[in-house]
Amino acid sequence: MLNVRLFEMEKFLNTSYEEELTSRLQEAQEKLQTGSGAGGEFTGWVHLPESYDREEFARILAAAKRIQSDSQALVVVGIGGSYLGARGVIDCLCSPNYNLKKKSTPNVYFIGNGLSADALQETLDLVSDVDFSVNVISKSGTTTEPAVAFRFFREALEKKYGKEAAGRRIYATTDKARGALKSLADAEGWETFVVPDEIGGRYSVLTAVGLLPIAVAGVDIEALMAGAAEMMRTCARGGLDCPAWRYAAARYALYQAGRSVELLACYDPAFRFMSEWWKQLYGESEGKEGKGLFPASVDFTADLHSMGQYIQEGRRLMLETVVRLGASDSELRVPRDETDGDGLNFLAGETMDFIRDRAMEGTLLAHTEGGVPNLIVEADGKTPAALGQLIYFFEYACGLSGYLLGVNPFDQPGVEAYKKNMFALLGKPGYEQRRTELEAKLNR
């Protein structure tokens, strides 16, 4: 089972902080379990690992097999929570180089998460000479980045296969009953999957939003859900031996003690997009009302050669959360060099995992000595079940953390500010006055 270890935390916090926070954690626990707190209508993810729709799950598995049989590529069109979780799981369990590997499953391309013409064109070129399908993911169907990208890939499908055959290659993950994408999908006869009303985007990786692309890549999504269910039962019991409670309590206490940045670190480059998913989860959930830790991430040991100096001796504004994924799939041992020109024969015969773990321990000791508190999240390994545990753990701890802060962990009102300005500057009908005002400011 996943474990949270607090390394020499007595250097940074009064040892009684957990007991002092127990009653507040219990209140947050009750809000999550019953949906009675702020944003409670979006806590459907809390019991999802056991209450998920089995019929839709079977359709996800069937669709994944169909895509695997008729497509060499799947284009996933989505932004934010509509793609980060799926990409994180695929990279972590299948490799960041998944699309470059020899395999029996389709390449998976993620697009619609920006506004780069070059990125769109490159992906269009990559799928132009292969059979491909599209999974468009949007609750409303009107979010600018994915909606624009979908126009390009729908057009490419229809030019390649004709309108009717193209429709059999489009899978829409959207609202169950309303919205522009749902209406279009129903009119065109595309297969649809549901973005649940009671689950916000950043908590949706264990719904069809994440599960269809993950299954297409060949990941065992039944094991993924089983791992999440195991962690769900642990979190439902609560208490200070619950890893989500321990993590939420420590990071909140450190925040109250003046820490303003949380660095998520991992010693496996395959974890990079899981870190990106984590950043959205915590940034959107906590960053409001002038509150919240700023979530950042680093890839160790690579970033020790770029960010290590600041972490060690810069402003003491951060805490560090280190994710340990366990043993690697490959057991590589350092070869002996007869000349020993690099002076590393003392490592000959040692595994790369052994060297990595000593590097992690040395960094842990150095950073703690340098005044950076360290929390260690120890996963059961790099398997679907272990990653399911980790996903649910971070989600649950995030909900607890939001309630400890006194904010609604399930809304994101600030996200709309840039959209209104962008719509005005693009000339969207109804924004004429705002456009005039904004252009005047830009031209000062």
Give me the residue spans of the domains in the chain: 3-37+225-405, 47-219
Predicted local distance difference test score (pLDDT) of residue 433? 82
pLDDT tens digits, 343-354: 999 999 999 999
With a cut of 80, say whether residue 85 has pLDDT above it.
yes
Q: Which of 11, 291, 419, 420 is catalytic?
A: 419
Q: What is the rounded average pLDDT of the residues 355-371?
A: 97
pLDDT tens digits, 3-13: 999 999 999 99
With a cut of 90, say whether residue 426 has pLDDT above it.
no
With a cut of 80, say whether residue 397 has pLDDT above it.
yes
The DSSP code sequence of 316-345 is: S-EEEEEEE--S-SS--BPPP-TT-TTS-G
Global pTM reads: 0.95
Given a contact cutoff of 8 angstroms between Cβ atoms, the answer to whether 297 and 265 are in contact is: yes
Share of the chain above pLDDT 70, in %: 100
Predicted local distance difference test score (pLDDT) of residue 16? 94
Predicted local distance difference test score (pLDDT) of residue 437? 80
CATH architecture of 3-37+225-405: 3-Layer(aba) Sandwich (3.40)
With a cut of 80, say whether residue 416 has pLDDT above it.
no
279 is catalytic: no
284 is catalytic: yes
Q: Give me the CATH code for the 47-219 domain, please.
A: 3.40.50.10490
Q: Which helix (H) or strand (E) covers residue 354, if one does? A: helix 352-369
Predicted local distance difference test score (pLDDT) of residue 149? 97
Answer yes or no: same fold for 3-37+225-405 and 47-219. Answer: yes
Query: Which residues, in sequence order, are CB contacts of 423 under 8 Å at separation 6+?
Result: 431
With a cut of 90, say whether residue 317 has pLDDT above it.
yes
pLDDT tens digits, 269-308: 999 999 999 999 999 999 999 999 999 999 999 999 999 9
Q: What is the rounded average pLDDT of the residues 202-213?
A: 98
Q: Which of 284, 286, 320, 395 is catalytic?
A: 284
95: left (phi over 0), alpha (psi -120 to 50) or beta: left
Q: What is the rounded average pLDDT of the residues 176-188?
A: 96
Q: What is the rounded average pLDDT of the residues 95-115?
A: 97
Share of the chain above pLDDT 90, in %: 91
Q: Is the peptide bond before 301 cis (omega within 30 degrees of 0)?
A: yes
Predicted local distance difference test score (pLDDT) of residue 421? 87
Predicted local distance difference test score (pLDDT) of residue 420? 86
Binned at pLDDT 50, 70 and 90, residue 362 comes out as very high
Q: What is the rounded average pLDDT of the residues 249-255?
A: 98
- Nearest CA-CA partner of 134 in 92, 94, 168: 168
pLDDT tens digits, 18-44: 999 999 999 999 999 999 999 999 999
Average pLDDT of the residues of the chain: 96
Predicted local distance difference test score (pLDDT) of residue 22? 97
The residue count for the chain: 444
Predicted local distance difference test score (pLDDT) of residue 415? 74
With a cut of 90, say whether residue 368 has pLDDT above it.
yes
Q: Which helix (H) or strand (E) covers residue 377, if one does? A: strand 374-378
Binned at pLDDT 50, 70 and 90, residue 441 comes out as confident
